Amino acid sequence: NAGVTQTPKFQVLKTGQSMTLQCAQDMNHEYMSWYRQDPGMGLRLIHYSVGAGITDQGEVPNGYNVSRSTTEDFPLRLLSAAPSQTSVYFCASMTSGGIYEQYFGPGTRLTVT
């Protein structure tokens, strides 16, 4: 099992550009999430999904879009990048059925200039 994979590992964008952060998992988990991690702020939930075709907003959703067409993939789209979106982004998947154990990808470090 590869677990949770994310691409790219690093990305530099100019203000106003758009891009998609890729996330995939091979554990057949229904639940997937996107977090951002900033110094002093901890991990904050951006968007999450409870299954293919179902997504919802987390704590800090503004400026981001998600979709879930398959169980495996959960891409995060930045619509018009802003310097405030400079952060480390983590994708996670979680077991269901009452256990709720979360598994994280290696992260994408994004810089917006």
Partner 1 sequence: KQEVTQIPAALSVPEGENLVLNCSFTDSAIYNLQWFRQDPGKGLTSLLLIQSSQREQTSGRLNASLDKSSGRSTLYIAASQPGDSATYLCAVHSGGGADGLTFGKGTHLIIQP
Q: Which residues bind partner 1 (CB under 8 A)?
A: 4, 31-33, 40-43, 45, 48-50, 56, 58, 90, 92, 94, 98-107, 109
Are the CB atoms for 73 and 90 separated by under 8 Å?
Answer: no
Compute and round to an integer the Cα radius of gyration of the chain.
13
CB of 37 to partner 1, least distance (A): 9
Q: Torsions phi, psi of 44, nearest 5? A: -125, 135
Phi, psi angle pair for 94, to nearest 5°: -140, 140
Closest CB to partner 1 among residues 105, 112? 105
Judged by phi (left if over 0) then psi (alpha if -120 to 50, else beta), residue 92 lies in beta
* Distance in Å, CB of 110 to partner 1, minimum: 14
**Nearest approach, Cβ of residue 48 and partner 1 (Å):** 4
Q: Name the residue nearer to partner 1 (CB basis): 28 or 98.
A: 98
Residue partners of 100: CB distance under 8 A and separation at least 6? 31, 94
Closest to partner 1 by CB, 28 vs 101, is: 101
Q: Which is nearer to partner 1, 76 or 94 (CB)?
A: 94
Q: How far is the CB of 99 from partner 1 (least distance, A)?
A: 8
